[in-house]
Structure 1
Amino acid sequence: MTLTQAEKYEAARAHGTPLFADLPGDIDISFEFFPPKTPAMETTLWESVQTLAPLSPRFVSVTYGAGGSTRERTHATVERIARETDIKPAAHLTCVDASREEIDAIARGYWDAGVRHIVALRGDPPRAGEKFVARPDGYASAAELVEGLKRVADFELSVSAYPERHPDAATATADIENLKRKIDAGAVRGISQFFFEPDTFFRFRDAAAAAGITAELVPGILPVSNFAMLKKMAASCATHIPDWMGRLFEGLDDKPAARQLVAATVAAEQCRRLYAGGVRQFHFYTLNRAELAYAISHMLGVRPKVSEGQ
């Protein structure tokens, strides 16, 4: 990718001044949550929503468990966000273990509830280690799901993207081609799986552009609050964890405050380097906690919007 003059200036500025000095906040942010399982988790989730809402995210998404295992809780959480906040919610929806009629009915329910944005995913099998097998009466891929949802209503549709290749993809080229099918079917953006080295995203962005993908590609940012959990998550989606990250988090298992500081520093630097490369949209995987995502957004120049008259 050839940098513009403005991007070259920004890259030089990033190296010549304090990294986060006076950033203008000219970015779009969004946040991802998962549906709570217990009353205590629901309290934590809503405290996080209330903390992040003043940053005016363009949307918040709510995940959907393997095999539709959180279907009702996802629906309830999305509806509550739509009903009780000014934030635009986006509901995750997958192809797993459901017929086309069932999925279309869920989508119509979201539309009737005022939800206009869906994150359309093929989805993971409900049992670890199994391969995805489409139901004969179901959608066979995320691209088919996007087409089907567009027939139901004029949803805004986001899809997943994989800077390091989906584990089921035969090659990186095949994975890019699959992303293009999803975009061509009607999706307006790809939200990436988490990654930890900015160059990984830049190479992916260049490859997507070379394949004719012009839709928005948004990096998914995962601040690391628990390194042991991260290793499990990364293994399941074939995400590379740099060796230096493991060394950086050594000795912090019983020091949560220090771990939070290290996590925020690592993720903020990642975002700053992405920003220097022209990225202006960020999607944060919050794990239902607001502190790290709020701190990083703040460092990138995002501030609560102040209404007129205040």
Structure 2
Amino acid sequence: MTANLDRVAEAARALNPSLYADLPGDIAVSFEFFPPKTAAMEATLWDSVETLKPLNPRFVSVTYGAGGSTRERTHATVARIARETDIPAAAHLTCVDASRAEIDAVADAYWQAGVRHIVALRGDPPAKDARFAPHPDGYATAADLVAGLKRVHDFEVSVSAYPEVHPEARDAAADLDAFRSKLDAGATRGITQFFFEPDTFFRFRDRASAAGIAAEIVPGILPVTNFANLQRMAGPCGTAVPAWMARLFEGLDDKPAARQLVAASVAAEQCRRLYAGGVRHFHFYTLNRAELAYAICHMLGVRPAAAPLEIAA
């Protein structure tokens, strides 16, 4: 009897319209890139920017290496986006290994380059397995950095949020307090660390709301192109990788095209479930590749704006 009921339920699901059919495209998207190290990587990055630009992203952000190790490349990339495109560009900035004066000078240089949005992060120490230690004359926390940036110029500021709790936080309550302190210092929104179960985001959003946090919380979406790399990234971030993901990617190590298809399906389903829960802004960690993010946006109804018709004189 139970088996028959299961078959009926599965048949009903199969007959339903597509999860993605006729979505109105009523969402905002943003994309994260990292600064390129080589000419070839720079060409790939700019191909990605050109591919994603027609989707009218709310902004694109560029990461900043530990200890400011990519400072010049980050600045050059963000400044070029601001100069050569009409996409609002956001620069990542951290507290690591820099004095307040140095960070303030970097922020001012961004402002002079036309950048009005900063993603403010405490940052990770440059040495692996080291604990963060503030610069003697620097900003000690991300909240301090946010307040400092707002003193330098009236930046729009985004900050990080951790649905599965920051690995260094004492507990979930302390982590939520840290998030609140960044918003109280002047941040506009939180962008979450990547995660893979929609309920993880919903629980975090509910806890934030119950704590009186009304700011926008944007889910960070990581389409998985390399499962082994994901496992290495997830541990230090405190991100749980579901067992079902390992099963889905099993046997695809030497089949990149198949991995791409699976990755797009997994991330699109995650976004669709988040959409059903009221999410209307998605931030994609692109790893400087546009194909997956573009495909997922397309499935969610985000399409390039139609060019205006030319009327003959």
User: What is the SS of the residue equivalent to 1:90?
Assistant: strand
Residue 238 (str. 1) matches residue 238 (str. 2):
yes
How many Å separate the matches in 1 of 2:96 and 2:305?
A: 39
Structure 1, unmatched stretches of 5+, are 1-12
Q: Percent identity?
A: 76
Residue of structure 1 in register with 2:256 after alignment: 256
Kindly report which structure 2 residues correspond to 1:155-166, keeping only aligned pairs within 5 A, or say none: 155-166=155-166
What letter corresponds to residue 177 of structure 1 in structure 2?
D
How many Å separate the matches in 2 of 1:214 and 1:151?
A: 23
Q: Tell which structure's C-alpha radius of gyration is larger.
A: 2
TM-score (ref. length: structure 1): 0.94
TM-score (ref. length: structure 2): 0.94
User: What is the SS of the residue equivalent to 1:194?
Assistant: coil
* Runs of 4+ displaced beyond 6 Å: none
Please list the CA deviations of residues 21-41 of structure 1 after superposition, one character each: whole Å capped at 9, or x if unmatched. 100000000000000000000
Residue of structure 1 in register with 2:122 after alignment: 122
What is the CA-CA distance between 1:222 and the residue it aligns to?
0.1
Note the aligned Cα RMSD (angstroms): 1.1
What is the CA-CA distance between 1:308 and the residue it aligns to?
2.4
Residue of structure 2 in register with 1:175 after alignment: 175
How many Å separate the matches in 2 of 1:297 and 1:85?
A: 20
Contact 1:35 1:62 in 2 (8 A): yes
Kindly report which structure 2 residues correspond to 1:206-217, keeping only aligned pairs within 5 A, or say none: 206-217=206-217
What is the CA-CA distance between 1:18 and the residue it aligns to?
1.4
Contact 1:117 1:156 in 2 (8 A): yes
Please list the CA deviations of residues 89-115 of structure 1 after superposition, one character each: whole Å capped at 9, or x if unmatched. 000000000000000000000000000
How many Å separate the matches in 1 of 2:152 and 2:94?
A: 15
What is the CA-CA distance between 1:17 and the residue it aligns to?
2.9
Residue of structure 1 in register with 2:48 after alignment: 48
Residue of structure 2 in register with 1:10 after alignment: none
How many Å separate the matches in 2 of 1:117 and 1:18?
A: 37
Residue of structure 2 in register with 1:147 after alignment: 147
Contact 1:162 1:193 in 2 (8 A): yes
Contact 1:177 1:211 in 2 (8 A): no
Residue of structure 2 in register with 1:19 after alignment: 19
Residue of structure 2 in register with 1:194 after alignment: 194
User: What is the SS of the residue equivalent to 1:304?
Assistant: coil
How many Å separate the matches in 1 of 2:152 and 2:195?
A: 33
How many Å separate the matches in 2 of 1:299 and 1:50?
A: 19
Contact 1:223 1:293 in 2 (8 A): yes
What letter corresponds to residue 34 of structure 2 in structure 1?
F
What is the CA-CA distance between 1:128 and the residue it aligns to?
1.0
What is the CA-CA distance between 1:50 and the residue it aligns to?
0.2
How many Å separate the matches in 1 of 2:192 and 2:232?
A: 18
